[in-house]
Amino acid sequence: MMLASFIFAMMNLIVKHLGEIPVAQIVLMRSIVMLIIVIGVIKHKKISPFGTHKKLLVFRGVFGSMGIAFFFYTLHNMPLASAVVVHYLTPIVTVIISVLVTRVRIAPLRWFFFLLCFVGVYIVKDFDDRVETLPIVIGVLGTIAASAAYNVISVLKKAEHHYVIMLYFPMVTVPLVLAYLLLTGDWVWTSATNWLLLVVIGVCTYFAQYFLTRAYQIGEVSRVSIVSYLGILYALFFGFFLFDEWYSPIVFVGLVCVLAGVLGNILYKGNITD
């Protein structure tokens, strides 16, 4: 999991670096590279590629596409650590969506953890002049989309091969983003180095997803989830040393509130209802 977290951090760093390249173009190149790799693996392993729950698989692809596009937008328009912290609200939103669907009650302590997260987001928004309303709204919408994708995956994980689930993500994303690019022309021709970095983003995505999946297969979920939050430390480190991003004490309090709320929700051993 430490390896997956580090690879995701490298991907976020490259996306942040490629600030002059439109988000849709980054998402498209990432998806094309990942699609090629996953198709190659599926052919090598002789896995039936299209699965049996096609509607759910397409929904997973659509929600995943929205989640990653909105996240990349926040990386371009917010300080690195703030964008990553908002993205890490995903476990909280995933639980809330699951509760809304199943209509079970949430234990009071979990409500406290939820409130702590959203208080933290409010502090980051209100006390950091670099964080505007639109990026943080888009970041939260991206978190909701990613959470919806994870809920679909939780339904599919025993019914479909994990490579089939991985395949539908780029397979849905590529035509959606192509249609958007044809309508908007939101595309730039860039340097050979930047094209190479776009390919690296796709390769990083594949291997990070692979190591993440393996970590959750062989490790205890709560421990694996905690290790994944090393991504916030990476973001703080890279943001400070590479992008000259600093945070006032009150903004740090907001970041810590979000982190504490998410980790509290993960570590809390009680059921959804108590």
DSSP labels for 6-34? Answer: HHHHHHHHHHHHTTTS-HHHHHHHHHHHH
State the average pLDDT over residues 47-62: 89
Which of 1-15, 32-46, 103-117, 259-273: highest mean pLDDT?
32-46
What average pLDDT does this structure show over 78-92?
80
- Residue spans of the domains in the chain: they are 2-267
**pLDDT at residue 1 above 80?**
no
244 — pLDDT class (breaks 50, 70, 90): confident
Lowest mean pLDDT among 30-44, 63-77, 97-111: 97-111
How many alpha carbons fall within 13 Å on the CB side of residue 194?
Answer: 14
* Tens-digit pLDDT profile for residues 4-25: 778 888 888 899 999 899 999 9
pLDDT for the residue numbered 274: 46
Average pLDDT on 90-117 reads 75
Taking residues 149-161, what's their average pLDDT? 78
pLDDT value of residue 102: 65
What band does 161 get if pLDDT is binned at 50, 70 and 90? confident
pLDDT band at 188 (very low <50, low <70, confident <90, very high): very high
**In which element (H, E) is residue 267 found?**
helix 249-267
Whether the pLDDT of residue 89 is over 60: the answer is yes
How far, CA to CA in Å, does 23 sit from each of 26, 40, 44, 180, 261? Answer: 5, 26, 32, 11, 29
Percentage, residues of the chain above pLDDT 70: 85
- pTM score, two decimals? 0.81
Asked if pLDDT for residue 163 goes beyond 70, the answer is yes
pLDDT of residue 34: 92
Give the pair of three-digit tokens for residue 99: 């509760």
- Do 80 and 241 form a contact (C-beta atoms < 8 A)? no
Of 58, 14, 10, the residue nearest 207 (C-alpha): 10
At 192-234, the pLDDT tens digits run 999 999 999 999 888 877 776 665 545 544 455 555 566 667 7
